Amino acid sequence: DQQVKQNSPSLSVQEGRISILNCDYTNSMFDYFLWYKKYPAEGPTFLISISSIKDKNEDGRFTVFLNKSAKHLSLHIVPSQPGDSAVYFCAAPTPDSNYQLIWGAGTKLIIKP
């Protein structure tokens, strides 16, 4: 079973506050995870990634946390800005192919001014 789940279809956050987007996975063999951001009518854009040998990766306002025992990862955006309003996808390469990405269904983030 190789699934990546994003259980929140949408999230609304006040500008300046922290946005936390969650992702769960079922296959403990997944060893690399990516977050993509997608605006309407555009393709997904790579945001940040994390290897399973780490539990945290930070890039500017974006931090991804990985909890391997819980098979859970989260993306934190601090502070949230209006331009962060988009759909966020988490994805993982399948262990047997390492190129085929398995995607969550996405979370629509809305930043309120």
Partner 1 sequence: GAGVSQSPSNKVTEKGKDVELRCDPISGHTALYWYRQSLGQGLEFLIYFQGNSAPDKSGLPSDRFSAERTGGSVSTLTIQRTQQEDSAVYLCASSNRQGQQPQHFGDGTRLSIL
User: Rule CB under 8 A: is residue 70 a binding residue for partner 1?
Assistant: no
**Binding residue count for partner 1, defined by CB under 8 A:** 26
Between 49 and 74, CB nearer to partner 1: 49
**51/98 Cα distance (integer angstroms):** 13
26 binds partner 1 (CB under 8 A): no
Binds partner 1 by CB under 8 A, chosen from 1, 41, 60, 69: 41
Residue 27 lies near partner 1 (rule: CB under 8 A): no
Nearest residue to 48 via CA among 62, 38, 27? 62
| Dihedral angle sign, alpha carbons of residues 56, 59, 27, 3 | positive
